[in-house]
Amino acid sequence: MLSESARMTTAAEAKFRINAPNSKPRAIKVIALDKRSEEVVKRLAREPWNKASFFASVHFDSPPQEGADWSMKTWLNDLAGRTSKLIDEISTADLVVMVVAAGSKAEAASVIGEACMLKRVMTTALILDRASASDTALSDTLLHLRPYASMLVVADDEDYIKSMLVALRA
């Protein structure tokens, strides 16, 4: 007689896997941190998504400083030009994806990262255009991103962002 594992790993048994949704849509907030990544994010936003939302820019009431409570005073602009408070958007996010071009200082990463830590939201940072940045410039970007990104990806082509968002059911 076959063991239970032997029976249950057959193709025939695989057909009995429950055919019902096993998750709810995730609220993934994609934020561009510089002009270059804004172009990419705008293109992505035109595709159909489940519950992803896209933000073209971040602005502050005054220049951000690390250590201060700047996440409370930071605003996001979506692609329709509407403004919302960063902390409010983070509060309703399941994942925050920061998109940044290699070489960018990504100053907003610290503010977004602090808000995510406060609200216990995972962050992923995607760095584009690696080939066009020097090692020093990339190091600068990494220095600003690493403390605030739970996951960091350096992608050679911007198509990867769409693949990632689809894979995450955004």
Partner 1 sequence: MLRKEQNDLVTQTGPGTPMGQLFRSYWIPALLSEQLPENDCPPVRVKLLSERLVAFRDSQGRYGLIDEFCPHRGASLWFGRNEESGLRCPYHGWKFDVTGQCVEVPSEPVESHFCDKIKLKSYPLVKRGPVLWTYMGPPEKQPPLPEWEFAMVPSDQVFVSKRLQECNWLQAMEGGIDSSHVSFLHRGDLNSDPLFKGAKGNKYNLGDLSPVFEVVESEGGLYIGARRNAENGNYYWRITPWVMPSFTMVPPRGDHPVHGHFWIPIDDENCWAYTYDYHATRPLTAEEREAMRAGKGVHSRNIPGTFRPAANKDNDYLMDRAAQKAGRTFSGVEGIAIQDASLQESMGPIVDRTKENLVSTDNGIIMARHRLMRAAKALVEKGVTPPGVDTAHQRVRSASVVLPADQPFKDAVKEALAVRPGMAHASV
Q: Does 72 bind partner 1 (CB under 8 A)?
A: no
Piece of the chain touching partner 1 by CB under 8 A; list 59-67, 79-87, 112-120, 141-149? 141-149
CB of 73 to partner 1, least distance (A): 27
Could you please report the per-residue DSSP string of 10-57? SHHHHTTS--S--SPPP-EEEEE-SHHHHHHHHHHHTS--SS-EEEEE
- Residue 73 or 169: the one with the smaller Cβ distance to partner 1 is 169
The conformational region for residue 67 under phi > 0 = left, psi -120 to 50 = alpha, else beta, is: left
Determine the Cα–Cα distance for residues 60 and 58; give it in Å rounded to an integer.
Answer: 7
Q: Is 140 in the site for partner 1 (CB under 8 A)?
A: yes
| Number of residues in contact with partner 1 under rule CB under 8 A | 41
Query: Rounded to the nearest whole angstrom, what is the least distance from the CB of residue 36 to partner 1 in the complex?
Result: 18
Interaction of residue 120 with partner 1, rule CB under 8 A: no
Q: Which residues of 12-40 are buried (b: 16+ CB within 10 A; e: fewer)?
A: eeeeeeeeeeeeeeebbbbbbbbebbbeb
Least spacing, CB of residue 61 vs partner 1, in Å: 29
Q: Report residue 109 as tokens.
A: 């990463």
Is 47 among the residues that bind partner 1 (CB under 8 A)?
no
State the sign of the Cα–Cα–Cα–Cα dihedral 88, 83, 45, 131: negative
Task: Check residue 163 for interaction with partner 1 (CB under 8 A).
Answer: yes
The percent helix, strand, coil of the chain (3-state, each to 5) is 40, 25, 35
Q: Which residue in the set 124, 128, 129, 158 belongs to the binding site for partner 1 (CB under 8 A)?
A: 124
Interacting residue ranges for partner 1, rule: CB under 8 A: 2-6, 8-11, 13-14, 17, 22-23, 95, 122, 124, 130, 135, 138-140, 142-143, 146, 149-156, 159-160, 163-164, 166-169
